[in-house]
Structure 1
Amino acid sequence: LYDYHVIQADETPVLVNKDGHPAGSQSYMWVYRSGFMYRDRQIILYEYQKTRNASHPREFLRDYTGICVTDGYQVYHTLEKEREDLKIAGCWVHCRRRFNDALEVIPKAHRKESILHLIMKQIQAIYREEGKLSDFSTEDRLMQRQLVVKPLVDAFFAYLKQNEPKIPKNGKIREAFTYALNQESYLKVFLEDGDVPIDNNASERAIRGFCIGKKNWEMIDTVNGANSSAIIYSIAETTKANNLKPFDYFEYLLTEIPKHVDDKNTDFLAELLPWSDMLPENIRKPQKASGK
C-alpha cells in the first residue's frame, strides 16, 4: 500500500467492551485503502485503535509518501503540516452533504429561491463533468480537469466568497459555508493530479460492511477480538474489491495455509493474495459482458 501514489483513509467508532475505557466509551476502527485507479490490485486495511487522535494515522503513514484522500477531519491536516512528503486531498461528498443538510432545513416551497439551490447546482455540474472522465487515462483526466472542471470549481469558490458576508452568523448555512471555505485548498488537490479521486466514497464503501455489522452485534468484547475483526474485515473487503467471492476465498485460504505450517519462510503467501494469477477460477466472480 505504501508504494501507491494515492491512498484513502476513513474511520468509524466502535464499542469494545474490555478495552480499559470507562463503560460506553468509543474506540475506533480505521481503514486505509488504495486509490480508485489501482483497479487490478485493490488493498483495504482495517486497523483497530482505542482513540481517534493523530498519533494513529501518524504512525500508520510514517513511511508513506504521496497523497491521502480523507474527509475534513483535522488530524489529517495536522499530519500534512508536519510533513513535506505527505499531501491531504479533501472530499467533495462531505462538502456537498453540508450544503444539502442546510437546504433541507428550508421549506420545500422556498428551496429554489435559496442561494443553496444554486450552490447545489454548481456542485452537481462539477460532478457531472468529473463523471465523464472515469475511463480516461491519468494524463487525459488531468488535462480535462484543468480545461473543464477547474473553471467550475473556481467559480464555485468565487461565488461562496462573494456571498459569504450575507450569510447568517449561525445555523447550518453558516456551517456549510465555513466548512467549504476552510477546506478549499484540500478540495482543489484533485485538480492537480489525475490519480486523485474527487471524493472519499471508496473509503466509505470499504468501511460500510463493518458499520452494517456493528448494528447487529453492537459491540466487540475484547481488544484481541477487535484486532481479529480488523484482520477479517481487511481480507473480506480486499477480496470483494478484487472481484473474488469472499466465502470461497476464505475457504481456499483455510485449506491452503495449513499445508505450509512447517515452512521456514512465507513466500507461498504471494500465490494466495487476492490478485494472484495462481488462484483457482471458481473463487473469481464472473466478469460482466462488455456493453451490458
Structure 2
Amino acid sequence: MSEAALLEQKVKELEAQLEQKEALLHSRAQRISTLEELIKQFNRKQFSASSEKLSQDQLALGLFNEAESTDEDEAAETESTDSEPEDTVEVPAHQRRRKPRVSLPSHLPREEVLYELSESERVCPHDGTELKAIGTEDHEQLEIIPAQAKVIVHRRQKYVCPCCEQHHATAPKPKQPIEKSIAGPGMLAYVATQKYCDALPLYRQSEIFKRAGLELDRTNLANWMIRCGELAQPLINLLHEKLLEQPVIHLDETTVQVLNEPGKSAESQSYMWVMGSFSASPAVLFHYADSRRQSVPLDLLDESVGAIMVDGYEGYEKACQQYNITRIGCWAHARRKLMDAKAVQKKGKTGKADQGLAFIQKLYALEKAIKGQPPDERYRRRQQEAQPVIDKLRAWLEKSLPQVPPQTAIGKALHYLHTQWHRLVRYLDDGAYPIDNNRAENAIRPFTVGRKNWLFANSQAGAKASANLYSLIETAKANGLNPYEYLKTVFKELPNAQSVEAIDTLLPWNVSTNPNWS
C-alpha cells in the first residue's frame, strides 16, 4: 500500500473517531440538558406556586400564536417578539371592587347590652327639661364561646306489678352508635369532623379536650372512629350502589401509609382510591386498598358503568375492557405536563410548550362558555368549535413529535399527548362527558391535606374507617350540608335503621326530608 493510501486511511480513522467523540459530546449535552430540566422542575414543585393558570402576558405570547402558522424549523425555542398575533384577545379594564362588609347571620342568638345615661346626664343643658329616649344606636359584635360539653343521663324507668311483684319491665332506649360508650352521636360527629374535615389529628384533639377538663386518650378517640366507620358501612354500600348508576364516574388514587398490614413492611405504600359523580346528586366514595393493582378498579366498577374519567394510569384498562366502559382522558394532565415544559424554558422565550398550551386553552375557553348548558347543546358546540381545534392540535403534534428529544420535558409532554390521544378526544362524543378529572382531584385533596398532619394509619381497620368517614363528609359537602350536623344525624339514626328504605333516607341528598334532620 502506497504512502498516500496509508495517509488517506489514517485520515478516515481520525474522522471516524472525531464523529464518535462528537456523538458522545452531543449525547452528554442532551443528558446535561435533561438533568438541568429535572432540577428546574424539582425547584418549581418545591418552591414555586402550583397554580396552572396562565397570566395575561403569557396569553399574549403563546395563546393565539397558532402552531400551523410557524415554520418547519421552529423546533427550537424562539425569542418572543412584538409582532401582531393572528388572533387577539381583549383584556377587560381593571376595576377596583369594594369588599362587602361582613354580615352576621340572623340565626345566631343575640344578647343585648343596653347603655343608658346616668340620672344627672338625662337633663337638657339649655332649659333643664328631662331628656326623652328616642331609640338606640346599635353595633353588633361577634363573640365565640369555646366548645361546651354536657353529660346526657339516659334514665330507663323500671316498673313492677304492685300486686304480685313478679312482673318487671324497663322502658326501652334507642340503640346508640357505640353501645355502653360515653361518646354520644354529637361527640362522635365532632371528633370525626375535626379529623376528616378540618385535618386535626387525634393527638391534638386530645390536648384540646384536656384544656376543657376532659381526659380523653388518643387511643379511645381512634377506637371511636373505627367503630363509627364500621357503623357507616351499610350507608357506604348504598352510596356505592347509587354511584354506579351515574352516567360518568371520576376516579383517582393517592398513597397512604398503613403501619400494620399483613405481609408488608411499615414503610410500604398503600392507596386510597376515590370515585365520584358530580351530577344532580353528587356522591364521593373513598376506598382503601393495600395496592394499586388493576384488581381494585375491577372490584369498584361493574357492567352498569357507562364511562369513567381517569388519568393515564393503565391499571384502569382491564376494567374498561371487561365491563365495556368508555374511558375518557384528562386534558388537565396533558396541560400540566406542557406547563412543566414551559416552566423550564428560558425566560423571555416561547417554544412548543406555548403552542400546545394555546390549543388547550382554547378548548377550556369553550368549556367555560358552555358550562351549565344541557348536554345536547354542549355536544353541538363541541363538534362545531372544539373539533377544529382538536384537528389542528393533532396536525401540530404529528409534526412536532419527531423534532424533540423524548427525554426532555417537552418530549415527555408531547409523548403523553400522543399515547393518550384516543382517550383525550372521547369527551367530544357526549355532551355529558367532562373535559378533565379535576373534580376527583378536588375531592381527594382534603385527604391529602389531612395526611400531612396525621401522616399514617395504624391499622387496616383504621384506614377503612377513614375511607368511610371521608366518603360521608365529602358527599355531605358536595350536597351543601353541614358535615357535623349530617354525621350527628347519621350516628343517631343509623343504629336504629332496620331496612334499606330507612338507610336510604340518610343519604345526603335525601337527609333534608328526614324529620330528625337538624
**Aligned-partner residue type, residue 3 of structure 1:** E
Indicate if the aligned counterparts of 2:334 and 2:416 stay in contact, CA closer than 8 A.
yes
Indicate if the aligned counterparts of 2:276 and 2:440 stay in contact, CA closer than 8 A.
yes
| Superposed CA RMSD | 1.6
Aligned pairs, number: 274
**Aligned-partner residue type, residue 295 of structure 2:** S
**Aligned-partner residue type, residue 115 of structure 1:** K
Match of 1:19 in 2: 261
2:354 to 112, 117, 136: 117
Match of 1:42 in 2: 282
- Counting aligned pairs with the same residue, the percent is 35
Indicate if the aligned counterparts of 1:93 and 1:201 stay in contact, CA closer than 8 A.
yes
Please identify, of 124-133 and 224-233, the stretch whose mean Cα deviation from structure 2 is larger.
124-133
1:175 to 402, 412, 416: 412
User: Aligned pair 1:59/2:299, yes or no?
Assistant: yes
Larger Rg: 2
**Alpha-carbon separation, structure 1, partners of 2:445 and 2:515:** 28
Unaligned runs of 5+ in 1: 284-292
**Alpha-carbon separation, structure 2, partners of 1:144 and 1:171:** 35
**Aligned-partner residue type, residue 80 of structure 1:** C
Match of 1:272 in 2: 506
User: Aligned pair 1:140/2:377, yes or no?
Assistant: yes
Unaligned runs of 5+ in 2: 1-242
Please give the per-residue CA displacement for 1:248-270, whole angstroms capped at 9, x wherever unaligned: 11112222234x16x3x242122
Higher fraction of helix: 1
2:447 to 184, 188, 210: 210
Q: What is the Cα deviation at residue 197 of structure 1?
A: 0.3
Indicate if the aligned counterparts of 1:210 and 1:233 stay in contact, CA closer than 8 A.
yes
Q: What is the Cα deviation at residue 169 of structure 1?
A: 3.2
Q: What is the Cα deviation at residue 271 of structure 1?
A: 1.7
**Aligned-partner residue type, residue 281 of structure 2:** R
SS at match of 2:293: coil
**Aligned-partner residue type, residue 337 of structure 2:** R
SS at match of 2:502: helix
Match of 2:327 in 1: 88
Match of 1:249 in 2: 486
Please identify, of 59-68 and 199-208, the stretch whose mean Cα deviation from structure 2 is larger.
59-68
TM-score, normalising length: structure 2: 0.51
Q: What is the Cα deviation at residue 31 of structure 1?
A: 0.6
Could you say which structure has the greater relative contact order, defined with CA pairs below 8 angstroms and 6 or more residues apart? 1
Please identify, of 72-81 and 44-53, the stretch whose mean Cα deviation from structure 2 is larger.
72-81
Match of 2:245 in 1: 3
**Alpha-carbon separation, structure 1, partners of 2:346 and 2:258:** 41
SS at match of 2:287: strand
SS at match of 1:24: coil
**Aligned-partner residue type, residue 481 of structure 2:** L
**Alpha-carbon separation, structure 2, partners of 1:281 and 1:146:** 48
Please give the per-residue CA displacement for 1:137-162, whole angstroms capped at 9, x wherever unaligned: 01111011100111112211211111
Match of 1:290 in 2: none
Indicate if the aligned counterparts of 2:489 and 2:517 stay in contact, CA closer than 8 A.
no
SS at match of 2:267: coil
Indicate if the aligned counterparts of 1:99 and 1:173 stay in contact, CA closer than 8 A.
yes
CA 1:271–1:79 in 2, change beyond 3 Å: closer, same or farther? closer
CA 1:280–1:211 in 2, change beyond 3 Å: closer, same or farther? farther
**Alpha-carbon separation, structure 2, partners of 1:121 and 1:56:** 37
Indicate if the aligned counterparts of 2:298 and 2:318 stay in contact, CA closer than 8 A.
no
**Aligned-partner residue type, residue 346 of structure 2:** P
Give the 4+ runs in structure 1 shifted more than 6 A.
none
Match of 2:35 in 1: none
**Alpha-carbon separation, structure 2, partners of 1:30 and 1:53:** 11
CA 1:281–1:204 in 2, change beyond 3 Å: closer, same or farther? farther
Please give the per-residue CA displacement for 1:216-240, whole angstroms capped at 9, x wherever unaligned: 0000000000110010000001001
SS at match of 1:272: coil
Q: What is the Cα deviation at residue 117 of structure 1?
A: 1.2
Indicate if the aligned counterparts of 2:406 and 2:415 stay in contact, CA closer than 8 A.
no
TM-score, normalising length: structure 1: 0.90
CA 1:267–1:281 in 2, change beyond 3 Å: closer, same or farther? closer
Indicate if the aligned counterparts of 1:9 and 1:70 stay in contact, CA closer than 8 A.
yes
